[in-house]
Every structure is written in structure tokens, then in C-alpha cells.
Amino acid sequence: MQCPFCRADDTKVIDSRLVGEGDQIRRRRECINCAERFTTYETIELSLPRLIKRDGSCVQFREDKLRGGILRALEKRPVRTDLVDAAVSRILNRLRASGEREIETKVLGEWVMAELRALDEIAYVRFASVYRRFQDIDEFQVEIARLKNPSEHVDE
């Protein structure tokens, strides 16, 4: 690790500790050359697939965008933050486990809808209305009928 003060390449680790939920390590370091101390953080870097949008373009997956969409659907709904975090984690795990380099946003959207359906039905319908581009009240009624009778297939 390079010293941020004198740019020397030799530093030694003085102390290491787990941070947060154990997914990050905080290291206290000291420069061999100038004796200055500084802190670094180490996290696991896992690559997530790129997303193929409806128009065929590819974009990098962004967790903040995923979380933002879920939170927008859940706005003013009585859902705890820890449940939202768990849903986001499950989606991220599915993305990593897919082993794909690219995945269609349609697939990701279906995963989000499944998580929202389990969290809050109102949020699910909100998200579905935007994601599936509902054009009229009939499409809302069809989706609500699916929620009420998940075992019955409702034609669109």
C-alpha cells in the first residue's frame, strides 16, 4: 500500500478489525519511510452482470438505482428498512449466482416485482404499473386480480 503522505511503497499493518456486518476490514497502517499513520478499508469486489435494456443498449448495474426504485415504490408504506435491505441482498445474490455477464432488465424487473409482492402489495402494483407501462385502469384491475387469485391465470 502506498503512503498517501510521502508516496513510499512500504507500509506495515498495525491493526486490523472487521467493520459493519463483517463484509469490510479496517486496517491501520504506518509508513516505514515517514512514520505517518493512516487507515484503509478493504472490501470484497464481486463483478455483477451488465444490464441489457429494452432498447438493446447495455448499462452497468447500479445498486443505488435498484434500491431507489424499490424505495420509490414503497414510499409512505409501512415496510421496515431491514426488510428492504434483505430484499436488495437477495436480488444481488441472484445476480451474482446467475453467472451471466449480461442480463436483461426484464429479468431483473421480475425479480424486483417478486420481492415487492412479498413486502407490500401496494408497492408491488405501483412498481408493476410503471415497469409494465400500464395504459389504463383495466391493466391495474388485471394485476390486482392476479394478486387476489395467484393460482388462477388472468388473460391480459
Question: Tens digit of pLDDT for each residue in 115-129?
Answer: 999 999 889 888 888
b or e along 80-91 (b: 16 or more beta carbons within 10 Å of the residue's beta carbon)? eeeebeebbeeb
**What average pLDDT does the segment 30-34 reach?**
97
What confidence tier does 154 reach under pLDDT thresholds 50, 70, 90?
Answer: very low
Within-domain flag for 82: yes
What confidence tier does 103 reach under pLDDT thresholds 50, 70, 90?
Answer: very high
pLDDT at 156: 42
Rounded to whole angstroms, the Cα distance separating 108 from 114 reads: 10
| Burial (Cβ within 10 Å: 0-12, 13-18, ≥19) of residue 107 | middle
% pLDDT > 90, the chain: 61
pLDDT at 130: 80
**Residue 39's domain spans which residues?**
11-43
Question: Based on the domain organization, do 101 and 83 belong to the same domain?
Answer: yes
Distances (CA, A) of 14 to 24, 28, 50: 17, 5, 38
Question: Based on the domain organization, do 63 and 135 belong to the same domain?
Answer: yes
CB atoms under 10 Å from CB of 96, counted, come to 13
pLDDT at 155: 45
Within-domain flag for 72: yes
Within-domain flag for 63: yes
Question: Based on the domain organization, do 56 and 118 belong to the same domain?
Answer: yes
Question: Based on the domain organization, do 34 and 57 belong to the same domain?
Answer: no
Name residues whose C-beta falls within 8 Å of residue 84's C-beta, 6 or more positions apart in sequence: 67, 70, 71, 74, 119
Number of residues that make up the chain: 156
Question: Based on the domain organization, do 27 and 58 belong to the same domain?
Answer: no
Cell of 98: 446467475
Rounded to whole angstroms, the Cα distance separating 46 from 23 reads: 12
Domain count, the chain: 2
